[in-house]
Amino acid sequence: MSTYRTSSGFARLSDAPLNSFAENVIAKMTGNPGYTTPLVSMATLTAGQTAYAAAIAAAAQGGRQLIAAKNAAREALLSLLRQEAAYVQSIAGEDLPLLLSSGFENMSTNRTQVPLSKPVVEEVSNPMSRQLGLKLKPVYTARAYEVRMSYVAGEWQAVGVFTQSRVVIPDLTPGTTYTLQARAIGGSTGYSDWSDPVSHMAM
């Protein structure tokens, strides 16, 4: 019988995707009957993820001290995730569905590099006032999608990382035209190229 190993690839994620990864692990392991005695409690893991998210937000304002604090919070969270990954592997090493139910991924034995396709924006809409809806064509092997926007030429602002190919962007300024791009996260290469830019006015 095959023995599966948890992937440590999450350690290579950038800040926002790593935070989303930790949130997903917490959501999937909370109450999971396959993991009744986690090495790292959900309370401890949640505290580490919450501290990291706060440090990311603070570091966005700049400053060496805030960036150093964010990096320290990242290393603390990675340590917790590595411990939990080892626990998951010890429980589900021969049961791939159980391993994947934890939110962690299995280590791929396929050495072929399969790059992610560039996302295609199928539709941009106005679902409600001050919102834009973005519909992407799903990308094979993508784990999530990162979206950015701009309303000043050449100045991009991160929107966030989303696990679904349909995204709603809130709190926009009516009458302002926003340019949007998305890229896929996952596969064997980490990130795809950014999609072709699309522009739409918020209502």
If asked whether residues 130 and 192 sit together in one domain, one would say: yes
Q: Could you tell me where the DSSP H helices lie in the chain?
A: 15-29, 42-59, 64-92, 96-100
If asked whether residues 18 and 69 sit together in one domain, one would say: yes
pTM: 0.55
Number of domains in the chain: 2
List the CATH number of the domain containing 131. Answer: 2.60.40.10
Q: What is the pLDDT of residue 111?
A: 46
Q: How many CA atoms lie within 13 A of 98 on its CB side?
A: 16
Contact 116/192 with Cβ under 8 angstroms? yes
Residues in the chain: 203
> Count of CB atoms within 10 A of residue 203's CB?
15
If asked whether residues 62 and 131 sit together in one domain, one would say: no
Whether residue 190 is contained in a domain is answered as yes
**Parts of the chain with a pLDDT under 70:** 1-2, 108-114, 187-189
Residue listed under structure tokens 């999530």:
144
Whether residue 159 is contained in a domain is answered as yes
If asked whether residues 17 and 91 sit together in one domain, one would say: yes
Q: What is the pLDDT of residue 108?
A: 62
Q: What is the pLDDT of residue 74?
A: 96
What dihedral angle (degrees, nearest 10) is formed by the CA atoms of 177, 179, 184, 185?
Answer: -90
Whether residue 27 is contained in a domain is answered as yes
Question: Cα angle vertex 41, ends 36, 46, to 5°?
Answer: 130
Residues 144-199 have pLDDT tens digits of 889 999 998 878 999 988 888 899 999 999 999 999 999 998 865 678 899 999 99
Q: What is the pLDDT of residue 2?
A: 57
Q: What is the pLDDT of residue 106?
A: 86
Q: What is the pLDDT of residue 119?
A: 93
What residues make up the domain containing 151?
120-201
Extract the tokens encoding 7.
């992937």
CA distance 12 to 14: 7
Residue listed under structure tokens 């150093």:
68
Whether residue 1 is contained in a domain is answered as no
Contact 164/195 with Cβ under 8 angstroms? no
Whether residue 137 is contained in a domain is answered as yes
Domain boundary among 69, 100, 131: 100
DSSP 190: E
Question: Cα angle vertex 192, ends 198, 195, to 5°?
Answer: 10
